[in-house]
Structure 1
Amino acid sequence: MRALKWFSVLTTIGMLFILLGGALVTKTDSGMGCGQSWPLCNGQLIPDEISSELVIELAHRVVSGSVGIMVIILSIAAWKSIGHIRETKFLAVNSIFFLVLQGLIGAAAVVWGQSDFVLAVHFGISLISFSTVLLLTFLIFEVDKKFEAEKLILDKRMQKHIIGVTIYSFIVVYTGALVRHVNASLVCKDWPLCSNDQITLPTNMYEWIQMGHRAAAGLIFIWIGYITFLAIKNYRHQKVMYWGWIIAFILVFLQVIAGAFIIYLRGNLFVALFHAFFISCLFGLLSYFLLFCYRSSIHSNKKKPSNPLSSTL
């Protein structure tokens, strides 16, 4: 089990590298670095002409392929080792499914090309793929029973907030990916408004996309802040929820700050990658909270009397 834990951590880190690699490819316009050839690069195993775009795209493909093999191995090993845990088989199957799906979308974009609005979905699919692997890793570590994550009971209000903010976070992710794909990152020169000198509505599609993403990010910041307040108030003795939401708020705060610095530093590449890193970690954490909601509903149903008359006897 110890070896499986280490392997799951390495696989999860590898999935993060895939996410950041995809963001790097988009940010540096390296998507066509290998031409319209996939999985080979310009129709060759080892290309004759080397460019920075080719290196970035080819490296992303190599990492994705290598980590993909690791995901398959992890899914099979988890199925065999902890398949008795209710969520394991579902996550194992979906980790492979979404991994293949994101690879096919990436390949289709290279060979046939896609609109920016379709390509923006690719990052969201990659996030779901990362989250399934992350949840598998959490399940593997939960086997030790060192914390009461498995028996955590959430009230209905918290469950609704978790489901709502997780679904909404995917919208925020999509708008952020769309900003990158349409090259609208620096269309607004100021922050938080497009122009701090005067308050005006966006004047073109690129400004609407940029300001729409900022508005969506501002709302999720407020929403997660409120849920964190509820967690601190009502779940102080349940460390997974208490510290989990504090970490979530820190991540969304860093996400907002990184977004602002992208503007101030005029699209600095490292800041942009940190921007993608923070939202990836946040989405993974929200997915873990979704798992709590599922478990909580299962436990609640088990506690309900099977006979409606039994409660009155």
Structure 2
Amino acid sequence: MDKIIISQYKKVKILQRSLKWFASATTLVMLFVLIGGALVTKTGSGMGCGRSWPLCNGQWVPDNITPELVIELSHRLVSGLAGIMVLILSIWAWRAVGHMRETKCLAVVSFVFLVLQALIGAAAVVWGQSDFVLALHFGISLISFAAVLLLTLLIFEIDKKFSAASLNLGRPMRFHIYGIIIYSYIVVYTGALVRHTNASLACPSWPLCAKSRPLPMQFHEWVQMGHRLAAAVIIVWIAVAAVHAIRHYREQPVIYCGWIIALLLALAQMATGALVVFTGLNLYIALAHAFFISCLFGVLSYLLLLALRTRRKPEKAAGHPVRETAPATLK
């Protein structure tokens, strides 16, 4: 009997380890989808396969191979692989950790939003879309990526080495988390709009639009400066939240470190945004810009998940969390 129990325990551990590896791989592939989408936009490869989807120029194996075709086709293949992996992960996680209340919701969101972004991309190829609609594409992909990331983090909680229920978040911290995650999506949209309207270099100077005239004068300059202003606001807001975490949440490392990482990513995002202008839209820096915002949104999404999972507890008048005392031992 003991051998049977030990054998079953080993099988469970192997399945858990396999699920963790697969979830990590799926998260990495979803990150490639985001970076690949940014690469397609920044290199103008959206029409690399012509007005044909899912085929490329109406062919399974294209005759005329161009760099734009390779980039667009590669992005489609990676997106297709991601769709299969996300579907498998969603079903697997649903069965393995479905007892966690967030699992089913994240599984559905990750797959549905990935399909939605694929449909928007296909519609843009076949029928064309306005820049304002295309700007939604990256944001929808970002939601799918964040859902897969959170699902992966939930899977890593199988061992119960960390419990969000042990956290104690005050009202100011909850306000920062809820407000910044919502506002960050607006920043993401404005950044995507900059790319899709080809306004990345509309303002030749930084942080002002031009040395001779600080205010924008035409549409593309307004799009560029609107994004810079939105990005500046979120950096200041994240800095305020990070200072609040440093002052009041040192005993809760996941919150404390989460905001420190978020601030570093926001600063890296700002630095790469400035370098995009100074280097004349260097491709690698532009892709790094997309990478940092993806990671930042992932961190903010995890903080949101923690805020939604923690218990609401009494707070001091100043809004700071109250330290809990250990429960009395039953005798």
Identity %: 64
What one-letter code is carried by the residue in structure 1 that aligns with 2:106? L
* 8 Å contact from structure 2 (residues 164, 309) kept in 1: no
Aligned partner (choices 118, 124, 146) of residue 139 of structure 2: 124
For 1:253 and 1:244, the matched residues in 2 are separated by 14
- Indicate yes or no: 2:328 matched with 1:291: no
Q: Is contact 1:149-1:240 (8 Å) kept? A: no
Q: Tell me the alpha carbon deviations over residues 149-183 of structure 1, each in whole angstroms, 9 at most, x when there is no partner.
A: 34322111111111111110001000000000011
| Structure 1 letter corresponding to 2:260 | I
For the 8 Å contact 2:169–2:312, the answer to whether it is kept is no
Residue 198 of structure 1 and its aligned partner are, at CA, apart by 4.1
Q: Is the 8 A contact 1:184 1:210 kept in 2?
A: yes
Structure 1 residues 108 and 150, CA gap change in structure 2 (3 angstroms): farther
Match of 2:312 in 1: 300
- Compute the displacement of 1:292 (Å): 1.4
2:98 to 74, 79, 83: 83
The reply to whether residue 165 of structure 1 matches residue 180 of structure 2 is: yes
Matched, 1:279 2:300: no
1:95 paired to 2:95: no
In 1, Cα distance between the equivalents of 2:289 and 2:176?
24
Question: 1:300 offset after TM fit, Å?
Answer: 2.6
Q: Which amino acid is 1:180 matched to?
A: R
* Among candidates 211, 221, 232, match of residue 246 of structure 2: 232
The aligned counterpart of 2:66 is 51
Alignment-mate amino acid for residue 250 of structure 1: L
> What is residue 29 of structure 1 aligned with on the other side?
44
Compute the RMSD of aligned alpha carbons: 1.2
How far 1:146 sits from its partner (Å)?
Answer: 2.2
What is aligned with 2:319? Answer: none
Task: Please give the per-residue CA displacement for 1:49-104, whole angstroms capped at 9, x wherever unaligned.
Answer: 11110000000000000111000111111011100011001111111111111111
* Contact 1:127-1:280 at 8 Å conserved across structures: yes
Structure 2: stretches of 5+ with no match in the other structure: 1-15, 314-331
2:19 paired residue number: 4
The Cα of 1:238 is off from its aligned counterpart by: 0.5
Query: 2:187 aligned with 1:175, yes or no?
Result: no
Q: Which residue of 2 aligns with 1:70?
A: 85
CA contact (8 A) 1:186 1:266 kept: yes
Q: Which residue number corresponds to residue 213 of structure 1? A: 227
1:22-54 CA distance string (max 9 Å, x none):
000000000010011100001110011111100
Cα distance in structure 1, aligned partners of 2:205 and 2:211: 6
Q: Distance in 2 between matches of 1:81 and 1:147?
A: 18
Matches of 2:49 and 2:304 in 1, distance apart? 38
Q: Which amino acid aligns with 2:122?
A: A
What's 2:55 paired with? 40
Alpha-carbon distance in structure 1 between the residues aligned to 2:131 and 2:308: 34
- 2:281 aligns with 267
Shift in Å at residue 109 of structure 1?
0.5
Is contact 1:221–1:253 with CA below 8 Å preserved after alignment?
Answer: yes
2:260 maps to what in 1?
Answer: 246
Is the counterpart of residue 189 in structure 1 residue 222 in structure 2?
Answer: no
C-alpha distance in structure 2 between counterparts of 1:300 and 1:198, whole Å: 50
Does residue 110 in structure 1 map to residue 125 in structure 2? yes
- AA of the residue aligned to 1:145: K
- The code of the aligned residue for 2:196 comes to H
TM-score, normalised with respect to structure 1: 0.93
Q: Which residue of 1 aligns with 2:7?
A: none
Question: Is the CA contact (8 Å cut-off) linking 2:216 and 2:225 kept in structure 1?
Answer: yes
TM-score (normalizing by structure 2): 0.88
- Distance in 1, Cα, partners of 2:95 & 2:165: 20
Deviation at 1:136, TM superposition (A): 0.2
Give the Cα–Cα distance (whole angstroms) in 2 for the partners of residues 105 and 77 of structure 1.
Answer: 27
Give the aligned residue type for 1:157: P
Q: Residue 17 of structure 1 aligns to which amino acid in structure 2?
A: F
Letter in 2 for 1:12: T
| Counterparts of 2:31 and 2:304, CA distance in 1 | 20
Q: Determine the C-alpha separation between the residues in 1 that align with 2:52 and 2:292.
A: 32
Whether the aligned pair in 2 keeps the contact of 1:142 and 1:149 (CA below 8 Å) is no
